[in-house]
Structure 1
Amino acid sequence: MSRIVHLNGDWLPEAEAKVSVFDRGFLMADGVYEVTSVLGGKLIDFEGHCRRLDRSLRELGMGNPHSDAEWLALHREIVARNGVEDGMVYLQVTRGNPGDRDFAYPPEGTPQTVVLFTQSKPGLADSPAAKTGWRVISIPDQRWARRDIKTVQLLYPSMAKMAAKAAGVDDAWFVEDGTVTEGTSNNAYIVAGGKIVTRQLGHDILHGITRAAVLRLAREAQMEVVERAFTLDEAKAADEAFITSASAFVMPVVEIDGTALGTGKPGPVAQRLREIYIEEMRKAAV
């Protein structure tokens, strides 16, 4: 069954949705994106994704083509049109099509390109991997310096995911100056001495929407959270580790570079946070 895609105000079968070869997103990776999870046909942490979209567009000097209410209506409609019960809604906004290729930004008033599509993932909250945990490898962080902007330039994270696949593991953690920045498409955490440790916000990591929710819920559950950089050696010696993302929620990490963490199985902190997060997000879903 063909998906229905939203493209610049039109609802089209995916095979009919076309973007110009002169679009800045295609030529220059000049665009941003967001991914919002869907559970039970409802949107998870939608307001947070709207706020980050605003910020990403602003940091690149782009306007927001829709209000929050308009984005919500579009998301709800595309979920309904595609009958998504569990899955994701992906949106992308580029600087548009100037009609030719040029490093300079297109003239003011050039229409932006707006795309939304869905990915159905039945049983998204019941991933078998959550029961066994992920194994990760470390890889040098060679991305650009503004990782806090959720741009569509994802080549190096894709290369890192392929390196993980070639190594027979689930993901890779980026390392810069001896400290872990984040995963290929997720934020990274360790648990040591009863404390949850994760890198502080800055230009070097994505300001994860799931990260913000999980840290808030952890503090509400009287868990101690420390926001600071941690080394790869600290991570390998930790009691447990986990990642967070919009599609994986809270996912335990049980091995780093072949070193098993703790018992080699998902730890109690990660497991409890996953339970709390999914429960609370279902309650607040729109």
Structure 2
Amino acid sequence: MSRIVYVNGEYLPEEEAKISIFDRGFLFADGVYEVSTILDGKLVDNAGHLARLQRSLAELDIPAPCSMEEIETIQHTLIERNAIAAGSIYLQVTRGAEDRNFLWSEGLKPSLIMFTQSRGAKMDKVAEKGLDVISQPDIRWQRRDIKTVALLPASLAKRKAIAEGANDAWLVEDGMITEGTSNNAHIITKDGKLVTRALSNKILHGITRKAVLALAKEAGLTVEERSFSPDEVKNAAEAFVTSATMFVTPVVSFDGVKIGDGKPGPHTTRLRDLYVSFAKKSLS
């Protein structure tokens, strides 16, 4: 049975889905997106993702294609129609379509697409082993707090990491780590502090990041929101990433140097367990 997707008001088999070649998302990467995780056929912390979607749209002055309540209804309909128990749902809003012009016209009708993706136990296996990460220059634009569809620099960095035998890249700007290619970056220092870059235009305001930091504080960890260097990563006791699809996933090496003993550490493991519990309570 073909996967059912959503395109501008229609539920369609994926092979029948079409969008204009003049859509500004296609021509200018003029759009934003969100990815929500599906557990037990429901959405994890979805209110946070929809709130961030509203912020991203507002920052780019793109009108919402419909209400957030309508978007959530579409999400649940797709989950049901595709019988997804575990996986994710991707949604994208672009400014709309018109003949190619750098200056867009006022009153364009935004485009809205959504599709689901199934997921097995792969991510759990990755969490058990941990990630090998390399550093790469951060060549992205300066508004990384807006979750835009302009992901080519991140894709190139991830491809470079895979080519070098790693799993992912952490991006470096002005001698400091910003974030991963599709996740927020964190370290645990040898004196047990959780360090992660403070929110700004330099990084995405991660929904999972926000929840994990709150859980860490509740668990008694000291959290420092500040920039940290590649050398601090190499000298850390533990490191991990957070994202909607990866939850809390350990990083066990950085630029070929083992972090700690090269295995997932106790703080990271505990934070993953705490987040999984939180995720199940947040289902909607």
TM-score, scaled relative to structure 1: 0.97
Unaligned runs of 5+ in 1: none
Task: Give the Å deviation of 1:153.
Answer: 0.4
Correspondence list, 1:1-286, <5 A: 1-98=1-98, 100-108=99-107, 110-123=108-121, 127-192=124-189, 193-286=191-284
Output one character per residue of 1:257-282: Cα deviation in whole Å (capped at 9) or x when no partner: 00001111001111000001011111
* Superposed displacement of residue 237, structure 1: 0.5
Is the contact between residue 154 and residue 181 of structure 2 (CA under 8 Å) also seen in structure 1?
yes
Q: Secondary structure at the match of 1:37?
A: strand
Q: Quick check: 1:238–1:261 contact (8 Å CA) kept in 2? A: yes
Distance of 1:111 and 1:158 partners within structure 2? 29
- Contact preservation (8 Å) 2:177, 2:229: yes
Structure 2: where are the runs of 5+ without partners?
A: none
Give the distance between the partners of 1:23 and 1:70, measured in 2 at CA. 22
What do residues 129-153 of structure 1 show as CA deviations (whole Å, max 9, x unaligned)?
Answer: 1111000000010100000000000
Once the two structures are TM-superposed, the CA of residue 66 in structure 1 deviates from its matched residue by: 2.2
- Please state whether the residue corresponding to 1:262 is helix, strand or coil: coil
The DSSP-based 3-state class of the residue aligned with 1:127 is helix
Describe the superposition over 1:156-190 as per-residue Cα deviations: whole angstroms up to 9, x where unpaired: 00000100110111100000111000000000000
Residue 122 of structure 1 and its aligned partner are, at CA, apart by 2.3
Conserved 8 A contact 1:217-1:276: yes
TM-score (norm 2): 0.98
CA RMSD of aligned residues (A): 0.9
d(CA) in 1 for partners of 2:66, 2:276: 28
Distance 1:28 1:186 in 2: 24
Q: Distance in 1 between matches of 2:132 and 2:93?
A: 33
Asked if the contact 1:88/1:247 (under 8 Å) is kept, the reply is: yes
Letter in 2 for 1:26: F
What secondary structure is seen at the aligned counterpart in 2 of 1:197?
A: strand
Deviations 1:174-207 (A, max 9, x none): 0011100000000000000110000000000000
Return the letter of the residue paired with 1:105.
Answer: W
Contact 1:145 1:203 in 2 (8 A): yes
Inter-partner Cα distance in structure 1 for 2:82 and 2:260: 42
- Asked if 2 retains the 8 angstrom alpha-carbon contact of 1:85 and 1:122, the reply is no
Q: CA deviation at 1:64?
A: 1.4
Structure 1 residue 107 displacement after superposition: 2.7
| Alpha-carbon distance in structure 2 between the residues aligned to 1:139 and 1:103 | 31
Separation in 1, partners of 2:233, 2:261: 14
Could you tell me how far 1:68 is from its partner in structure 2?
A: 2.3
Q: How far apart in 2 are the matches of 1:216 and 1:261? A: 24
Q: How many residues align?
A: 283
Moved over 6 A (4+): none
